[in-house]
Amino acid sequence: MVELILMSSLFLLILSILLTLYRVIKGPSMPDRVQALDAIGINLLAGVAIFAVLLRTSAFLEIILLIGILSFVGTVAFARFIERGVVIERKPAD
Amino acid sequence: MKKPNDIILHAVTKVAVPIILAFSFHLFFSGHHNPGGGFIGGLAIASALTLLFLAFDIETVRANIGVDFKVVAAIGVLLAVLTGVGSFFFDAPFLSHTFDYFNLPIFGKTELATAVLFDIGVALAVIGTSVTTILSISEDR
């Protein structure tokens, strides 16, 4: 029973990743694509968590935190690039 | 043109960077018995430094972290080689490692292995290489 619930939630996560992938490909503007990529990262994180429960192991728990950190850093970098045109600035802003 | 105001990004970075650094130290020290190790620990530290470089700018971070990352990579490789050479002094082949149990003041009975020294070298090499790559790409536009 629990396995059925986990498998169905994995299926729903895959479905939402596919729907978000449509937004990445089709999205009219650049911020749409960046936000869709961030959402894909979070869905992937939830998928790894459910997979760890399904396999009855705690070996993947670090990966969850790592995907969260990398997704955050990547989204901040894309946001800086869209806003300023440069990812890392040389001098202080003012 | 209005002056950009990054106060939310700066506040989030000041909270998130210590958490990422603590997590990367956990990843580094759990490498002997659990998933983790020098490579992924060094990459997590490099991602924390990247977040600092993103939120602030190169000159501010260089003024606060006065480390040349090319020297960090060189020290890491040197440390990894020296742990291999050190086994010659005990009539052992190159890169032989050993471990023993010690009674430390706070931790109690702890297993200390010389493989940790090699792992510190790997982590320093990874930090130095990745941060040097990121900085030298972003240097000129």
- Identify whether A93 is part of a domain: no
Tell me the pLDDT tens digit for each residue of A13-46.
999 999 999 999 998 999 999 999 999 999 999 9
**Residue A94 within a domain:** no
In this structure, the dihedral spanned by the alpha carbons of residues B35, B41, B42 and B46, taken in order and rounded to 10 degrees, is: 130
Nearest alpha-carbon partner for B82 in B95, B69, B66, B73: B95
Q: Report the distance separating Cα A94 and Cα A53, nearest Å.
A: 49
3-state secondary structure of A85: coil
Interface contact A88-B57, CB threshold 8 A: yes
pLDDT at residue number B140: 61
Q: Is pLDDT at A92 greater than 80 in this prediction?
A: no
* Domain count for chain A: 1
Q: Report yes or no on A49 lying in a domain.
A: yes
Residue B21 forms contact with A (CB below 8 Å): no
pLDDT at A91 exceeding the cut of 80:
no
Which residues contact residue A86 at a Cβ distance below 8 angstroms, ignoring those fewer than 6 apart? A80, B138, B141
A·B CB contacts under 8 A: 57
Question: Residue A65's domain spans which residues?
Answer: 1-84
pLDDT band at residue A93, thresholds of 50, 70 and 90?
low
The answer to whether position A11 is within a domain reads yes
3-class DSSP assignment, residue A2: helix
Q: What is the pLDDT of residue B32?
A: 84
Domain membership of residue A59 (yes or no) is yes
> Is the model's pLDDT at A65 over the cut of 90?
yes
Instruction: Give the pLDDT of residue B75.
Output: 95
Which residues of chain B have a pLDDT value below 70? Answer: 1-2, 139-141
Q: Predicted ipTM?
A: 0.84
Over residues A50-74, the mean pLDDT reads 93
Which stretches of chain A sit within 8 Å of chain B by CB? 59, 62, 65-66, 69-70, 72-73, 76-77, 80, 83-84, 86-94
d(CA A81, CA A32): 14
Residue A90 domain flag: no
